[in-house]
Structure 1
Amino acid sequence: MNEIEIRMLYHSHVYGGDTIKIGFIGPGKVGVSLGRYFTHKGIELSGFYGKDDLNTIDAANITKSKFYNNIQDIIKDSDILFITTPDDIISIIDIELSKFDLNNKSICHTSGSLKSNVLCNAKHSGAMIYSLHPIFAFSSKETKLKELEDIYFSIEGDILEDSSIISVLKLIGNKYFVRKAEDSSTYHLASVFVSNLALSLLDIGTSYLKKLGLDDEEALNALKPLIKGNIDSIYAKGFVNSLTGPIARGDITTIEKHISVLEDKDKDLYKILSFNLLKLVALRDKNNADITENIEECFYSMENKSQIENVLSNSKKHLEIYKFLGGVN
């Protein structure tokens, strides 16, 4: 029996049928939203600890839990501690926690980019450690609880099927998956692409409507049905079957007009995203399995232009678009 199994056996004996109490270090948007959600799901909170007393008291009041101004006390009163602070503070908190006996405690941080081993000092002091990341953008402490019903969690760390943190995930009923520590950066990149970078892309798109005289709100509202309709279509039909627009149609005249009005700073981005759309077009129009196997490799190895041209050879208009975009600097 290894060290983790011994600890978990002891955890099971200690917890038994008793209620597991969860505490939060960090009274911000993530901590308060998760605290409210856990309470909604019948999980008991010990309370909140944080550097700013007013924010911490507010977090405790919102979640009807206890305010702690002493880290030792929240450790004593909690079975699981969630660290819901900015990433660069987590290692500092880890050192603070490790000054105390953490046997029979589980320590989780909610960063998607950091591995669980950022809590290595806590582990040496007896804790089970985890990176438990909710795949959601928390923009407020008042996150609607209904929205949290559908979010996924990803988890990495000292995981066994009967660990207390897995029990919590099963109790709240949200779907979750286990990731490897070495995959943390790749995992977080997926979230950044569809959240932060998508936000940036929407900002760029609305900026072209603002050139016509619309303000921020008008531009975003005008594009909202298009944005929402596209997302709904992707979920209903998938990426390939949701293709629309000039790339999908092979409309090079429209693309030439786009290039003529694009700001220089946006041209490379337009080219990269259009190449990815051409990859989806090739998948849509594939005629045999041999081509399908090469599509991903061809489009992400842009130096091999002959292979890409071969993939697109069944559509002269899409091949023409590819060659035209290849000339964008």
Structure 2
Amino acid sequence: MSRMTPVTIVGAGAVGRSLALALYRSGVTVAGVYSANGTSARALARRVAAPSSGTLTGKIPFASVVILAVPDDAIPAAAVQVLRSAGAERIRTIIHCSGALASLVLRPAAKRKISCASMHPLMTFPKKGRTVPMKDTWFALEGDRTAVALCRSLVKRMEGSSFTIDARKKTFYHMAAVFASNYTVTLLEVAGQLAREAGVPAKDLWRIFGPLVTASVNNALRHSPAAALTGPIARGDRATVLRHLDALRGSKRMEHLLPVYAALGIEAAALAGMER
């Protein structure tokens, strides 16, 4: 594979660390790593053989490609800080990694004729723990044509896959990711609360319910959510649903779950109707 342009990475948290290591291991030169306090950047730089690291102060030997792997609310300020740094004249492309924000937040860079894009890895990144491999991860891309083409090449080097989205619809894309990941985890906690209320042994809870969760998700992915739906709503068992609602209303510890059950029940009924 042809040699890729070196990159500078700003942000050494879970996303920045995972991207830096994946790029380095794929043969892309990481020219520098920078973070707010510099400590995490220097540690990551040692792992990816980056010759420059620390904070964005002084003259920075930027590569022509800069990847901003910082929290969403820090992206605009980080972009401005990069552009104001000595050495910014070398930059030709700036990419941020937010799933919620479009590349439009990089407008100050675009005004300088710098190519801009967003490259969001559709993966969960635990705040602490092991680095997340990028192989087989899908990335959502949007931005100007030149930057998006570069993002595709970077993703390919990391053995991931990519697709483009409309910047105007990116909020819906991010909501989809929230439901697929964050709210799925939240629903498991809701199930856990109800199971513990029923007296299911807490220490064995996920050994007991795990096979059901795994089978349900696998069936939905293999076929479709509508085809995988089972349970009282799918079979039109109104009496059981009413008993569930009565039980929640009658429990001070569980009554807070009534709106959750009702909202999901309405969506489940619509899903069941699709399969009929």
Name the counterpart of 1:222: 208
> 2:17 corresponds to which letter in structure 1?
V
Q: 1:186 to 1:207 in 2, by over 3 A?
A: same
CA–CA separation in structure 1 for the residues paired with 2:102 and 2:59: 24
Q: Which has the larger radius of gyration?
A: 1
TM-score (structure 2 length as normaliser): 0.87
Name the counterpart of 2:96: 109
Does the 8 Å CA contact 1:103/1:125 hold for their aligned counterparts? no
Q: Between Structure 1 and Structure 2, how many residues are aligned? A: 267
Deviation, 1:162, is 8.2
Does the 8 Å CA contact 1:33/1:143 hold for their aligned counterparts? yes
Q: Does 1:138 align with 2:125?
A: yes
Name the counterpart of 2:78: 93
> 1:114 corresponds to which letter in structure 2?
L
Q: Does 1:201 align with 2:192?
A: no
From 61, 64, 79, the counterpart of 1:76: 61
> 2:263 corresponds to which letter in structure 1?
I
- Cα offsets for 1:28-77 (capped at 9, x unmatched): 00000111112222222113101222211222223333442353788634
Name the counterpart of 1:127: 114
> 1:130 corresponds to which letter in structure 2?
A
From 17, 21, 42, the counterpart of 1:32: 17
Name the counterpart of 1:308: none
CA–CA separation in structure 2 for the residues paired with 1:150 and 1:283: 31
CA–CA separation in structure 1 for the residues paired with 2:119 and 2:16: 12
CA–CA separation in structure 2 for the residues paired with 1:162 and 1:278: 40
Q: Percent identity?
A: 24
Does the 8 Å CA contact 1:27/1:50 hold for their aligned counterparts? yes
CA–CA separation in structure 1 for the residues paired with 2:5 and 2:211: 44
Alpha-carbon RMSD: 2.4
Deviation, 1:121, is 1.3
Structural mapping, 1:176-215, within 5 Å: 176-213=162-199
Name the counterpart of 2:251: none
Name the counterpart of 1:273: 264
Q: 1:167 to 1:131 in 2, by over 3 A?
A: same
CA–CA separation in structure 2 for the residues paired with 1:104 and 1:77: 7
Name the counterpart of 1:306: none
> Which of the two has greater helix per residue?
1
Does the 8 Å CA contact 1:83/1:108 hold for their aligned counterparts? yes
> 1:142 corresponds to which letter in structure 2?
R
- Cα offsets for 1:285-304 (capped at 9, x unmatched): 1xxxxxxxxxxxxxxxxxxx
Q: Aligned to 1:137, what secondary structure does the other structure show?
A: coil
Q: Aligned to 2:145, what secondary structure does the other structure show?
A: coil
Q: Aligned to 1:247, what secondary structure does the other structure show?
A: coil
Q: Aligned to 2:272, what secondary structure does the other structure show?
A: helix
From 162, 166, 177, the counterpart of 2:152: 166
